[in-house]
Amino acid sequence: MALAETISRKIHKLGLVPKLIKLLPIVSILLAISSISWILILPLNGNYRNTYISENALMPSQVTSFFRESEWNIVRGYREEISKLENQSIEIRNNQLEKWVNDLGLVTAYHNNGKFNDTLYAIMHAPRGDDTEAMVLAIPWETSDNEYNEGGMALAIALSRYFSKMSIWSKNIIIVFVENNQFPLRSWVEAYHTSLEETAGSIEAAIVLEYGKNGDYFDYYELIYEGLNGQLPNLDLLNTVNLIGYHEGLHCAIQDTPSTELVKDTYFTRLRTLIRGIIALTLTGIKPGGGCEAFSGWQIQAFTIKARGTKGPHDVTQFGRLVDSTFRSVNNLLEKFHQSFFFYLMLSKNHFVSIGTYLPSAVLMAIAFTFSSLGTILISGLEINSFISHSAKILTIFVIIEIICFILSLTLPLIKVDISILLIILSFIPLGLKSSSSSSFKLNKTTSFGLVALSLFFISLLITALLIVHFSLALLLGLFTLPLTFLAQPKPKLKTIICLLISNPFFIISIAGQDIFLGLVTSWHDLQCWTWFVVSLGWYSAWLGVAVGTLSGDFTVQDTTKKQQ
Amino acid sequence: MKIQLNIVLVTIFSILTVFVRGDINVVNTEEADHIISKSKHTNNWAVLVSTSRFWFNYRHMANVLSLYRTVKRLGIPDSQIILMLSDDIACNPRNAFPGTVFNNNNQAIDVYGDEVEVDYRGYEVTVENFIRLLTDRWDPDHPRSKRLLTDENSNIFIYLTGHGGNEFLKFQDAEEIGAYDIADAFEQMYEKKRYNEIFFMIDTCQANTMYERLYSPNILAVGSSKLDESSYSHHSDMDIGVAVIDRFTYYTLEFLEKIDKDSKQTMDKLFNEYTYENVHSNPGIRYDLFNRNASEVLLTDFFGNVQNVVVEDEGEEDILYITNHDERGKLVQFNQEHNKSDESYQIDFGYEDVESSQQITPMTANFIRGLGLVTGAVVVGLWFVST
């Protein structure tokens, strides 16, 4: 006790408490800076790890793939026929494909998604398997680069033919021929788990295959792996395909690595991959992606592979072997993927940081907001008791804001007006609160400080809640709303307006582009991606809270140190 | 009449053949000393266990089936082999060659073969069953074919393979057996006089930790790797898509393939194969519980069955003693050159090798040959007459 007492006396004598309170905004900014620096030091040597296969059963590259030159002719034949179908309707294309796969002995069925053309899918029941698990090979008619996916289709048919000759399958194989890899694919996956009659057991892994008009040769393959809502495929699956690719002598690009830097491994390439990965994961479902995100949410590990280049040293059968060997590995599994990481950030195809290493970054960000919220209350110069007596009022205002945001979140996807006008209204109108606010509408000092503090604390809670399930979104949310913490000091009004403007979600979205907004508002309905609700109910409501508090209330800071002494 | 005569003739012929041919298996007593084991056991048993399941553990199944094949080849009958394995490999849908298990990528030997008798399969491979097997504590209605019916004259070869760690061995992803459990089970076996000698071989990661807790006498133990060390597979079969055999077992088998039932190879020769270069880990051998030197232990003491029977002259009431000694207990001299210091005698039915055999009536070799020829001529004559 004596020690604690001595320390407390000392603190009181030196007047540390007011000094610390004064330092709170700086501490908050320092925490935010350290959060960003944490991300920046991850690509340094020693902070990341090399990938490895964790699941013993996978045994990638331990089996000879016979999808070689003899199958090349078959791929060529099918491609020739498929290229003739390019100008036909999807219905005619599907009929032709159905005939081919039926000849191979596969069961076929259609899925009607009510919006696009029907999706054809074929099931190869494993001849000696127990018919309870499946692997999916999905091939969109149109690649994500809007190219006719003739190579991918030809490969898929040739692979089906090759697979159906083998007796070693323990899992069923489903081949999905889908119009494109966005809504139609998602709709099929959803229907597979809810309404489809022809099914083949729970899907363990899925590959989306894109091989456009690259011809017989390609340079390298691109791997896309982000899922919806921060979900990622088990790292073992990515390692499996990358190891197989390595043994085939193929180069791999992740996160849009330029073709000239595929083998480059420096701090900056790793940092670039890391940052692009964070942004890509945040935007998955909002921006058209690789298609693998369509499988998110049903414990399906999925990735997309795309062939890049047309000259390269590698031939089309190697791309097929990538699929074949991966399926052979997945086929060896006895349990669901569970050994390796589900939460990770890739730095290159064979370097990664796991959740334990990167998580402190978002934690620091959340603490920065908590400190800022605390600082807002403490530097107001008001008694704590007055906040308690006004708590009902503060909460009522915040709930009203939340309700407004809730109505917005439901109605905005339905409104069909010019989006740019809508965005401007949502960004600027609240800023006009200041000028229009009458005396009857004006909040008193306690309410306005309380509302700002509550909103900042709300952001802190939001980051904390998101940081495990969707780290990328949590981190970016923290970064974008960071200017809101600068308001907690006496500032010129212009600065307040600028800070509010640049942290407004709709302002940022309108800068990022209308497609992002459209993707955002439709992503819940189309893909069950809940980023829209985080933005509208979390980010925008907190922003409104801060805006109302600062602009239509008495948000002036007195010299608190003098008063307390 | 004719048939009866033929039977008589055949019988006479066969008797004659024995006389005329002589005994090719004659060994002198010095050689007999080497052949006949110093182990003093009278029967051999083998307990072969693969403790893992699942397709990717193909090699463990191949390990144990290869040793099963080897001990069977070297003479231990199926009734004296207890084979425990999950048995989920041969008919696994992932097996490109259904119904087979190979132990080499040359696919020369299908070790699953036609005559594999599995005693405990699938979920019967448990720690409890293993301990019960060793200590022979079963329900009264437990089938005898699934019991280890050993006695104080039994030599037991125990082979375990699977995934191990520091002082434990995993049984089928569900449970573990500890080094102390095995040590205590062996002690019970010793107290219940269930063995003469045990050769304990284990091929797992950190295998040596499994035998370090043993404390019962007459146990020779080898393990494939020391503490904190992994044991590795030898090679994969790219057609089957799995590793097919472990290094330690591979080199054991490679050596055992070169010996046959009558081999006089000793254990130390096998142990010489266990180098770091071969196994890629540090195999361990534990001698301190065993009171013979590895160079005196025949491989067939454990991997084979008892083939050579020797009657020693220590007992005074046995028939050999009575025929070899007169009433005063003095050794009867049949030949001057006979080695008096012989510890044992080979029973011999040959007529030529007088130095280590005795004859009931004194006849020379030529006389017997002559008699044989005359009898033969008479028989042939009779046969002609009868037809």
Chain A residue nearest residue B238, CA to CA: A63
Task: Return the number of CB contacts < 8 Å for A and B.
Answer: 46
- B348 conformational bin, left if phi > 0, alpha if psi -120 to 50, beta if neither: beta
Q: Do B241 and A332 touch (CB under 8 A)?
A: yes
> Going along A170-308, which residue ranges are E strands?
172-178, 202-210, 217-218, 220-224, 252-254, 301-308
Contacts of B88 in chain A (CB under 8 A): none
Site from B52, B53, B54, B56 to mutate, A interface, most A CB atoms within 10 angstroms: B56
Q: Do A170 and B93 touch (CB under 8 A)?
A: yes
Chain B residue nearest residue A170, CA to CA: B93
CA distance A282 to A467: 12
**Pick from B83, B76, B84, B69: which is nearest to B45 by CA?**
B76
The whole-angstrom distance between B56's CA and the closest CA on chain A is: 5
CA distance A503 to A427: 10
Q: Do A168 and B94 touch (CB under 8 A)?
A: yes
The whole-angstrom distance between B57's CA and the closest CA on chain A is: 8
Contact A551, A494 (CB under 8 A): no
Q: Are residues A417 and A482 in the same domain?
A: yes
Q: DSSP state, B152?
A: T
Contacts of B170 in chain A (CB under 8 A): none
Total domain count for chain A? 2
Q: DSSP state, A443?
A: B
Residue A454's Cβ-side half-sphere holds a number of Cα atoms within 13 Å equal to 26
B238 close contact with A: CB closer than 8 A: yes
Task: Identify how many contiguous H helices and E strands chain A contains and give both numbers.
Answer: 22, 13
Average pLDDT of the segment spanning A201-229: 93
Q: Do B92 and A129 touch (CB under 8 A)?
A: no
Which has more pLDDT, B138 or A417? Answer: B138
Q: Are residues A159 and A32 in the same domain?
A: no
Q: Do B55 and A62 touch (CB under 8 A)?
A: no
The string of DSSP codes covering A138-185 is: EEESB-TTS-B-HHHHHHHHHHHHHHHT-S--SSEEEEEEES-TTHHH
**Pick from A391, A374, A397: which is nearest to A488 by CA?**
A374
Chain A residue nearest residue B57, CA to CA: A57
Question: For position A225, which CATH number holds?
Answer: 3.40.630.10
pLDDT at B270: 92
CA distance A239 to A352: 11
Q: Are residues A178 and A136 in the same domain?
A: yes
Q: Are residues A94 and A23 in the same domain?
A: no
Q: Are residues A373 and A488 in the same domain?
A: yes
Chain B residue nearest residue A167, CA to CA: B96
A80-87: which pairs have CB atoms within 8 A and are 24 or more residues apart?
A82/A150, A82/A153, A82/A154, A82/A157, A83/A148, A83/A150, A86/A148, A86/A150
B86 close contact with A: CB closer than 8 A: no
- Listed range (A92-106, A261-275, A407-421, A518-532) with the worst mean pLDDT: A407-421
**B157: CB partners within 8 A, 6+ apart:** B44, B45, B46, B47, B71, B198, B199, B201, B302, B303
Q: DSSP state, A199?
A: -
pLDDT at A502: 87
pLDDT per position as a tens digit, A434-460 = 555 555 567 778 888 888 899 999 999
B13 close contact with A: CB closer than 8 A: no
Q: Do B55 and A328 touch (CB under 8 A)?
A: no
- Candidate from A56, A62, A169 with C-beta closest to B93: A169
Chain A residue nearest residue B235, CA to CA: A62
Contact B259, B223 (CB under 8 A): no
Q: Do A57 and B98 touch (CB under 8 A)?
A: no
Q: Is the dihedral of CA A472, A477, A483, A489 positive or negative?
A: negative
Q: Are residues A513 and A377 in the same domain?
A: yes
Residue A527 scores a pLDDT above 80: yes
Contacts of A128 in chain B (CB under 8 A): 93, 98
- The residues of B assigned a catalytic role are 163, 205
Reduce the DSSP state of residue A370 to 3 states and report it.
helix
**Assigned domain for A225 exists:** yes
Q: Are residues A107 and A34 in the same domain?
A: no
Domain residue limits, chain B: 2-36+311-374, 43-301
The string of DSSP codes covering B83-123 is: EEE---STT-TT-SSTT--BSSTT---BTT-S----SEEGG
**Pick from A162, A101, A205, A125: which is nearest to A321 by CA?**
A162
Q: Do A331 and B94 touch (CB under 8 A)?
A: yes
Chain A residue nearest residue B58, CA to CA: A57
CA distance A97 to A157: 8
Chain A residue nearest residue B241, CA to CA: A63
- Candidate from B92, B98, B241 with C-beta closest to A63: B241
The string of DSSP codes covering B270-323 is: HHHT--HHHHSS--EEE-TT--S-GGG-BGGGTSS------EES--SSSHHHHH
Q: Do B96 and A168 touch (CB under 8 A)?
A: yes
CA angle B9, B13, B18 (to 5 degrees): 155
Mean pLDDT of chain A: 88
Q: Do B94 and A63 touch (CB under 8 A)?
A: no
Q: Do B239 and A64 touch (CB under 8 A)?
A: yes
pLDDT at B296: 86
Contacts of A169 in chain B (CB under 8 A): 93
The whole-angstrom distance between B54's CA and the closest CA on chain A is: 8
The string of DSSP codes covering B187-224 is: HHHHHTT--SEEEEEEESTTTHHHHTT--SSSEEEEES
End-to-end CA distance of chain A: 27
CA distance A159 to A81: 16
Q: Are residues A170 and A39 in the same domain?
A: no
> Could you tell me the residue range of the domain that residue A310 belongs to?
69-264+288-338
> Going along A398-483, which residue ranges are E strands?
none
- A61 conformational bin, left if phi > 0, alpha if psi -120 to 50, beta if neither: left
Contacts of B98 in chain A (CB under 8 A): 128, 167
Contacts of B236 in chain A (CB under 8 A): 62
Contact A252, A240 (CB under 8 A): no
Q: Do B54 and A334 touch (CB under 8 A)?
A: yes
Contact B208, B155 (CB under 8 A): no
ipTM: 0.81
Pairing of strands A202-210, A133-140: parallel
The string of DSSP codes covering A59-109 is: -TT-S----SHHHHHHHHHHHHHHHHTTTS-HHHHHHHHHHHHHHTT-EEE
B232 close contact with A: CB closer than 8 A: no
> In sequence order, what are the beta bridge partners of B168?
B165, B178
Q: Do B98 and A56 touch (CB under 8 A)?
A: no
At the topology level of CATH, where does B43-301 sit?
Answer: Rossmann fold (3.40.50)
Contacts of A63 in chain B (CB under 8 A): 238-241
What is the residue-level pLDDT of chain B in tens, covering all 387 positions? 455 655 665 566 555 554 444 444 555 566 556 555 567 888 999 999 999 989 999 999 999 999 999 999 998 999 999 999 998 999 999 999 999 999 999 999 999 987 899 999 999 999 999 999 999 999 999 999 999 999 998 999 999 999 999 999 999 988 999 999 999 999 999 999 999 999 999 999 999 999 999 999 999 999 999 999 999 999 999 999 999 999 999 999 999 999 988 888 889 999 999 999 999 999 999 999 998 888 888 888 899 886 555 555 555 566 666 677 776 767 776 655 545 444 555 555 544 444 555 566 677 888 888 999 999 999 999 998 887
Reduce the DSSP state of residue A289 to 3 states and report it.
coil
CA distance A520 to A502: 19
The whole-angstrom distance between A300's CA and the closest CA on chain B is: 21
Chain A residue nearest residue B56, CA to CA: A57
B96 close contact with A: CB closer than 8 A: yes
**Assigned domain for A393 exists:** yes
pLDDT at B349: 53
Cα–Cα distances (Å) from A367 to A26, A375, A425, A457, in that order, read 13, 12, 32, 9
Contacts of A328 in chain B (CB under 8 A): 241
B94 close contact with A: CB closer than 8 A: yes
Q: Is the dihedral of CA A472, A139, A150, A515 positive or negative?
A: negative
Contacts of B205 in chain A (CB under 8 A): none
Q: Are residues A423 and A311 in the same domain?
A: no
Q: Are residues A198 and A331 in the same domain?
A: yes
Contacts of B243 in chain A (CB under 8 A): 62
- Candidate from B56, B98, B238 with C-beta closest to A332: B56
Residue A141: how many CB atoms within 10 A of its CB?
A: 24
pLDDT per position as a tens digit, A16-58 = 778 888 888 888 899 999 999 999 999 999 999 999 999 989 9
CA distance B242 to A45: 35
Contact B236, B243 (CB under 8 A): yes
Cα R_g (chain A), whole angstroms: 28
Reduce the DSSP state of residue A319 to 3 states and report it.
helix
pLDDT per position as a tens digit, A505-519 = 888 888 888 888 888
B89 close contact with A: CB closer than 8 A: no
Q: Which amino acid appears at position A72 of this protein?
A: W
CA distance B265 to B249: 18
Q: Do A62 and B243 touch (CB under 8 A)?
A: yes
CA distance B143 to B77: 17
Q: Which helix (H) or strand (E) holds B376?
A: helix B365-386
Chain A residues with CB within 8 Å of chain B CB: 56-57, 59, 62-64, 126-130, 166-170, 328, 331-332, 334
pLDDT at B353: 47
Q: Do B55 and A332 touch (CB under 8 A)?
A: yes
Contacts of B241 in chain A (CB under 8 A): 59, 62-64, 168, 328, 332
With cut-offs at 50, 70 and 90, classify the pLDDT of residue A542.
very high
Which has more pLDDT, B258 or A488? Answer: B258
The whole-angstrom distance between B224's CA and the closest CA on chain A is: 20
- Give the predicted TM-score (pTM) of the model: 0.82
What percentage of chain A has pLDDT greater than the value 70?
93
**Assigned domain for A91 exists:** yes
pLDDT per position as a tens digit, A101-145 = 999 999 999 999 888 889 999 999 998 988 999 999 999 999 988
